Amino acid sequence: MFDWFQPNDVLWVIPAAPLLACLWIVLVGHVVRRQYAHRPVVLALAVSLAAAICLLIHVVPSGFGHAGEHGAHGSPSHAIIKHLYQWISVGQLNVSVTLRADAMTALMLVMVTSVSLLVVIFASGYMHGDPGYPRFFASIALFVFSMCMLVLAGNFLLMFVFWEAVGLCSYLLIGFWFQKPSAAAAAKKAFVVNRIGDFGFILGVFLIWTTFGTVDFEALFGSPDLIREIATQDPAIFTTICFLLFVGAIGKSAQFPLHVWLPDAMEGPTPVSALIHAATMVTAGVYLVARCTPFFVLAPTAQMFVAGIGAATALIAAITALTQYDLKRVLAYSTVSQLGYMFMSLGAAGADVSLATHAVTFAMFHMFTHAFFKAVLFLSAGSVMHSMGNVIDMRRFGGLRKALPITHITFLAGSLALAGFPLLSGFWSKDEILAVLFSASQDAKHGDFYKVILGVALLTSLMTAFYTFRAYFMTFWGKERFPEEAGHHPHDAPPAMAGPLLILGVAALFVGLIAGPTHLYGHYLEHTPGLPEAHAHEPNLLMMGVSVVLALVGIGAAYFAYVVSPSVSQGLKKASGPLHNFSHEGLQLDWLYLRFIVNPLRLLARIAEVFDKWVLDVIVDCVGFVPSLFGAVLKPIHNGFVQNYAMVMVVGLVVCLVSVLRALAGGM
Partner 1 sequence: MNWSPENGMLLLPLALGWLAVWWLLPREKPRGRILGGLIGVAALLVLQATVLPPAGDLVHDVMFYAFAAAAILCGGLMITDKNPVYAALWFALTTLAVCGLFLLNSAPFLAAATIIVYAGAIVVTFLFVIMLAQQGGIGGYDREAFQPGMASLLSFALLATLLFSLQEWGGIDGKAADEARHGQFVSVPTTVQANLLSQAPESNPREIGSLRVLGRSLFTDYLYAVELAGTVLLVATIGAIAIAPRRSQGHL
Partner 2 sequence: MTSTALENQLIVGAILFALGMIGFLTRRNLILIMLSAELMLHGVSVNLTAFGRYHGNPQGQVFTIFVLTVAACEAGLALSLILTLYQRRKSLDVFLWGNLGEDDLRVLSGSSSSTQPTTKVVDPNADFPHLTPAGRAPKSPVTKT
Residues that bind partner 1 (CB under 8 A): 641, 643, 647, 650-651, 653-654, 657-658, 661-662, 665, 668
Q: Of 647 and 658, which CB lies nearer to partner 2 in the complex structure?
A: 647
Helix 133-152 vs helix 156-174: angle between axes, to the nearest 10 degrees?
160
Chosen from partner 1, partner 2, none, partner binding at 662 (C-beta under 5 to 8 Å by type): partner 1
The Cα–Cα gap between 27 and 375 comes to 30
Chosen from partner 1, partner 2, none, partner binding at 665 (C-beta under 5 to 8 Å by type): partner 1
Q: Which residues pair with 93 in a beta bridge?
A: 90
What is the smallest separation between the CB atom of 657 and partner 1, expressed in angstroms? Answer: 5
In the three-class reduction of DSSP (H, G, I as helix; E, B as strand; rest coil), residue 94 is classed as: strand
Chosen from partner 2, partner 1, none, partner binding at 636 (C-beta under 5 to 8 Å by type): partner 2
What is the smallest separation between the CB atom of 656 and partner 2, expressed in angstroms? Answer: 15
Chosen from partner 1, partner 2, none, partner binding at 639 (C-beta under 5 to 8 Å by type): partner 2
What is the smallest separation between the CB atom of 666 and partner 1, expressed in angstroms? Answer: 9
What is the smallest separation between the CB atom of 638 and partner 1, expressed in angstroms? Answer: 16
Chosen from partner 1, partner 2, none, partner binding at 661 (C-beta under 5 to 8 Å by type): partner 1
Chosen from partner 1, partner 2, none, partner binding at 619 (C-beta under 5 to 8 Å by type): none
The Cα–Cα gap between 184 and 188 comes to 6
Chosen from partner 1, partner 2, none, partner binding at 635 (C-beta under 5 to 8 Å by type): partner 2
Q: Of 390 and 644, which CB lies nearer to partner 1 in the complex structure?
A: 644
Q: Of 536 and 626, which CB lies nearer to partner 2 in the complex structure?
A: 626
Chosen from partner 2, partner 1, none, partner binding at 514 (C-beta under 5 to 8 Å by type): none
Chosen from partner 1, partner 2, none, partner binding at 638 (C-beta under 5 to 8 Å by type): partner 2
In 3D space, the residue among 408, 415, 450, 416 whose CA is nearest the CA of residue 433 turns out to be: 450
What is the smallest separation between the CB atom of 254 and partner 2, expressed in angstroms? Answer: 33
Q: Of 74 and 640, which CB lies nearer to partner 2 in the complex structure?
A: 640
What is the smallest separation between the CB atom of 182 and partner 2, expressed in angstroms? Answer: 21
Q: Of 92 and 643, which CB lies nearer to partner 1 in the complex structure?
A: 643
In 3D space, the residue among 431, 455, 456 whose CA is nearest the CA of residue 543 turns out to be: 431
Cis bond before residue 539 (omega within 30° of 0): no
Is the CB of residue 150 less than 8 Å from the CB of residue 162? Answer: yes
Q: Of 604 and 658, which CB lies nearer to partner 1 in the complex structure?
A: 658
In the three-class reduction of DSSP (H, G, I as helix; E, B as strand; rest coil), residue 216 is classed as: strand
Residues with Cβ within 8 Å of residue 597, at least 6 apart in sequence: none
Is the CB of residue 397 less than 8 Å from the CB of residue 490? Answer: no
In 3D space, the residue among 547, 359, 526, 536 whose CA is nearest the CA of residue 441 turns out to be: 359
What is the smallest separation between the CB atom of 610 and partner 1, expressed in angstroms? Answer: 50
In 3D space, the residue among 36, 39, 41 whose CA is nearest the CA of residue 22 turns out to be: 41
Q: Of 92 and 643, which CB lies nearer to partner 2 in the complex structure?
A: 643
Chosen from partner 1, partner 2, none, partner binding at 640 (C-beta under 5 to 8 Å by type): partner 2
Instruction: Give the number of other Cβ atoms within 10 Å of residue 484's Cβ.
Output: 8
Residues near partner 2 (CB under 8 A) are 609, 613, 635-636, 638-643, 646-647, 650
Q: Of 549 and 656, which CB lies nearer to partner 1 in the complex structure?
A: 656
Q: Of 88 and 650, which CB lies nearer to partner 2 in the complex structure?
A: 650
In 3D space, the residue among 573, 595, 575, 592 whose CA is nearest the CA of residue 584 turns out to be: 573
Chosen from partner 2, partner 1, none, partner binding at 585 (C-beta under 5 to 8 Å by type): none
Q: Of 635 and 662, which CB lies nearer to partner 2 in the complex structure?
A: 635
What is the smallest separation between the CB atom of 637 and partner 1, expressed in angstroms? Answer: 13
Chosen from partner 2, partner 1, none, partner binding at 536 (C-beta under 5 to 8 Å by type): none
β-pairing, 93-101 vs 80-90, is: antiparallel
Chosen from partner 2, partner 1, none, partner binding at 448 (C-beta under 5 to 8 Å by type): none
Chosen from partner 1, partner 2, none, partner binding at 609 (C-beta under 5 to 8 Å by type): partner 2
What is the smallest separation between the CB atom of 159 and partner 2, expressed in angstroms? Answer: 38
What is the smallest separation between the CB atom of 665 and partner 1, expressed in angstroms? Answer: 5
- Could you write out the DSSP letters of every residue in 592-651? HHIIIIIHHHHHHHHHHHHHIIIIIHHHHHHHHHHHHHHHHHHGGG-SS-HHHHHHHHHH
Q: Of 445 and 613, which CB lies nearer to partner 2 in the complex structure?
A: 613
The Cα–Cα gap between 312 and 309 comes to 5
Q: Of 27 and 653, which CB lies nearer to partner 2 in the complex structure?
A: 653
What is the smallest separation between the CB atom of 646 and partner 2, expressed in angstroms? Answer: 6
Q: Where are the alpha helices (DSSP H) in 388-540?
A: 405-419, 425-441, 447-476, 495-515, 520-525
The Cα–Cα gap between 66 and 57 comes to 14
Is the CB of residue 407 less than 8 Å from the CB of residue 546? Answer: no
Q: Of 619 and 668, which CB lies nearer to partner 1 in the complex structure?
A: 668
What does DSSP assign to residue 77? P
User: Which amino acid, one-letter code, is at 162?
Assistant: F
Helix 133-152 vs helix 38-58: angle between axes, to the nearest 10 degrees?
20
Burial 399-428 (b: 16+ CB within 10 A, else e): bbbebbebbbbbbbbbbbbbbbbeebbbbb
Identify the H or E element spanning 28: none
Q: Which residues pair with 326 in a beta bridge?
A: 393
The Cα–Cα gap between 642 and 194 comes to 68
The Cα–Cα gap between 384 and 389 comes to 9
Q: Of 572 and 610, which CB lies nearer to partner 2 in the complex structure?
A: 610
Identify the H or E element spanning 86: strand 80-90
What is the smallest separation between the CB atom of 612 and partner 2, expressed in angstroms? Answer: 8
What is the smallest separation between the CB atom of 633 and partner 1, expressed in angstroms? Answer: 18
Is the CB of residue 461 less than 8 Å from the CB of residue 569? Answer: no
Chosen from partner 1, partner 2, none, partner binding at 608 (C-beta under 5 to 8 Å by type): none
Q: Of 647 and 661, which CB lies nearer to partner 2 in the complex structure?
A: 647
What does DSSP assign to residue 89? E
What is the smallest separation between the CB atom of 642 and partner 2, expressed in angstroms? Answer: 6
What is the smallest separation between the CB atom of 641 and partner 1, expressed in angstroms? Answer: 8
Helix H, strand E, coil C: the string for 315-369 is HHHHHHHCCCCEHHHHHHHHHHHHHHHHHHHHHHHHCCHHHHHHHHHHHHHHHHH
CA dihedral over 594, 595, 600, 603, signed as positive or negative: positive
